[in-house]
Amino acid sequence: MTHTAMNSLFANIPIWPEGASKAAFEMDALYLFIVGLTIFFSAIVFGLVLYFVGKYYAGSKADRSNPSFHNLKLELVWSLIPLALGLFVFVWAAKLYVEVQAPISSENALDIYVVGKQWMWQMQHPTGQRENNELHVPVGRPVKLTMISQDVIHSFFVPAFRVKNDVVPGRYRTLWFEPTKVGKYHLFCAEYCGTKHSEMVGWIYVMEPEDYEMWLKDNQWGMGNEKATMAEAGAALYQQLQCGSCHDPNQRIGPPLAGVYGTTRTLSDGRRVIADRDYLRQAILDPQAVTVSGYENIMPPFRSQLTEVEVNQLIEYIKTLGKGNELPVAETKNEEGVNKG
């Protein structure tokens, strides 16, 4: 009886987190290796202490003749062995860190745009679906998150995937993972962000690819009540904000935007910068700081008018320009089938 009681007690004490990503397995192996090192060195220290206390307890009959007070060889041994093991761990961990942290190069990756704000996670799929505090992804396909914060620093943490990255205001950060197991996994904010920090949590749903396709279809209207891809939503914003009155190809007041994404720009102060996401975001929110050479510094800042979600949509729209697949701005909303993506 006691035995079963004990068993049920321990059944209630979880000691190992579920692993559901490609990175989890090797991360756990490294973790266990360091656990082994910890046990090994702790055992040596505890063992030495207990042995010496027992043997050389004052009054014991142990031989105490000719004690030694230093031994260079011995001291080098217990400096260099831990050093070698430490460097081994460093190399292993650095290699794995690069694999996990370096931007994913896979063409196949699913792009998700994440905005953290006090105290919720806003996700958007390129095909337009929006989710709050939930993210649906297919199993077996890399997922790349492009993340930014609307206010303070947050941190996107999914223990089951062994991934985490801070979500910082003012700059885009990326994070990727490849789910290997269908299921429902905790999402936490790991960087303290104020009152409801511990309620800035959610779930990641990993689904079979066909279920995911179904989910995309069923949620075409998403949270925005508008059936539009991110680029289409961006196109609508472009119109609504009348960006075209300066930036349309025939206007010549502001720099034309067709094909601008990824090109090198020369700014009026002589700096040369690549027009990546961070640049485009700054050019929209705080254009005075990055005026392009040859243009007047007249664009008003949109910092107080746009949310980070909207900026994401505008950038997705700008990315489509000049690639021959411009969205006919006015009509997109009513077209069928565009959302298939």
Q: Which of residues 176-195 bind other proteins (CB under 8 A)?
A: 186, 188-195
Establish if 61 lies at the interface with other proteins (CB under 8 A). no
What phi and psi values does residue 271 have, to the nearest 5 degrees?
Answer: -65, 145
Q: Cβ closer to other proteins: 74 or 214?
A: 74
Map the footprint of other proteins across residues 109-148, applying CB under 8 A.
118
Note whether 285 and 302 are within 8 A (CB): yes
Six token digits for residue 216: 């995309």
Map the footprint of other proteins across residues 238-277, applying CB under 8 A.
none
Q: Cβ closer to other proteins: 110 or 152?
A: 152
What phi and psi values does residue 34 have, to the nearest 5 degrees?
Answer: -70, -35
Min dist. Cβ of residue 21 to other proteins (A): 11
For other proteins, which stretch binds (CB under 8 A), given 51-59, 241-249, 265-273, 306-314?
51-59
Burial of 156 by CB count in 10 Å (0-12 exposed, 13-18 middle, 19+ buried)? buried
Min dist. Cβ of residue 283 to other proteins (A): 15
Instruction: Please pick, from the candidates 61, 67, 105, 108, the single residue that binds other proteins as defined by CB under 8 A.
Output: 67
Q: 204: which residues sit within 8 A by CB, 6+ positions away? A: 134, 135, 137, 158, 160, 161, 179, 184, 185, 186, 187
Q: What is each CA distance from 196 to 131, 133, 150, 245, in whole angstroms?
A: 19, 13, 15, 42
Instruction: Please pick, from the candidates 6, 7, 25, 62, the single residue that binds other proteins as defined by CB under 8 A.
Output: 62
Instruction: Please pick, from the candidates 6, 25, 134, 151, the single residue that binds other proteins as defined by CB under 8 A.
Output: 151
Map the footprint of other proteins across residues 204-243, applying CB under 8 A.
none
Instruction: Identify the three-state secondary structure at position 303.
Output: coil
Beta bridge partners of 149: 116, 169
Q: Cβ closer to other proteins: 59 or 294?
A: 59
Q: 298: which residues sit within 8 A by CB, 6+ positions away? A: 253
Establish if 4 lies at the interface with other proteins (CB under 8 A). no
Note whether 39 and 47 are within 8 A (CB): no
Map the footprint of other proteins across residues 295-324, applying CB under 8 A.
303
Min dist. Cβ of residue 63 to other proteins (A): 8
Min dist. Cβ of residue 22 to other proteins (A): 13
- In 3D space, the residue among 212, 184, 180, 199 whose CA is nearest the CA of residue 26 turns out to be 180
Min dist. Cβ of residue 115 to other proteins (A): 14
Min dist. Cβ of residue 155 to other proteins (A): 6
Q: Cβ closer to other proteins: 19 or 128?
A: 19
Residue 168 CA to residue 171 CA, distance in Å, equals 6
Establish if 27 lies at the interface with other proteins (CB under 8 A). yes
Min dist. Cβ of residue 81 to other proteins (A): 9
Min dist. Cβ of residue 212 to other proteins (A): 24
The verdict on whether omega for the bond into residue 203 sits within 30 degrees of 0, i.e. cis, is no
Map the footprint of other proteins across residues 77-116, applying CB under 8 A.
78-79, 82-83, 86-87, 89-90, 92-98, 100-102
Min dist. Cβ of residue 270 to other proteins (A): 20
C-alpha 332 chain-centroid distance: 31
Q: Cβ closer to other proteins: 83 or 298?
A: 83
Establish if 68 lies at the interface with other proteins (CB under 8 A). yes
For other proteins (CB under 8 A), the number of binding residues is 88
Q: What are the CB-based long-range contacts (under 8 Å, 24+) for 122-126? A: 122/309, 124/222, 124/230, 124/309, 124/312, 124/313, 125/216, 125/230, 126/229, 126/230, 126/231, 126/316, 126/341
